[in-house]
Homo-oligomer: A and B are copies of this chain.
Amino acid sequence: MNLEQFPSKLLERAVSETAKLPGVGRKSALRLVLHLLRKDASQTHALADSLLRLRDEVKFCTCCHNISDNAMCEICSSDHRDRSTICVVENVQNVMAIEATGQYEGLYHVLGGVISPMDGIGPSDLQIESLLERIREGGVGEVIFALNPTMEGDTTNFYISRRIAALGLPEGAVRLSVLARGICVGDDLEYTDEVTLGRSIIDRVSLRA
């Protein structure tokens, strides 16, 4: 279907703007927009209003840089979190993923990306200085690196760990750790890639009886 012959300029513009979203082609955009036309106008108004308010009013936590409704996010301002542990993550989705496990009680630090020379992202584009500042202020006993297990994630781990070492803190004052890598729960060894399987042998843990 040739999508250049729109019967309406309003329709064409709405489709063009919607098709700018990632993973939404012009055909999908047309389907979404025509769906809104069939539904009550209040749905379109609610959608537009929610997007505008989010874009114009959302804040980023001054401490951990997570998305927040206030100057400091709920996690950073909570009395129930372990303030001596900082989990370094790439983005807000990763905070949500870790929170959903219910296994972590500490604070976060959202870098806003990982070092990726291919994409032109260097250390200065990420929230690294503010992480170092948090560590320099004291009270931090452990930094957990929870970046994606990719080349870029590992590079970023390495870079930040070197910067932390360069702070000249007392030996053993801040423990650095990284998420365990190994076979997935429920996975089949036959289909696990050899790097992961090899890593799971090297990092094997004592069997808890």
Contact = CB atoms under 8 A, between A and B. Distances in A.
A172 interface: no
Interface in A121-179: none
Nearest to A32: B21
A10 B69 contact: yes
A56 B37 contact: no
Contacts of A100: 1-2, 5
Interface string A1-45: 111011111110110111011111000101111111100010111
Contact of A10 (B16, B24, B57, B92): B57
Interface string A59-82: 000000011110001110000000
Given A10-B58, A37-B58, A69-B8, A96 B51 contact: no
Contact of A50 (B13, B37, B96): B13
Nearest to A48: B48
Contacts of A28: 23
A95 interface: yes
A201 B48 CA distance: 52
A13 B96 contact: no
Contacts of A17: 43, 46-47, 50-51
A37 B91 CA distance: 12
A48 B44 CA distance: 9
A20 B43 contact: yes
6 closest cross-chain pairs (CB), A and B: A2-B100, A48-B48, A44-B55, A14-B54, A14-B50, A17-B50
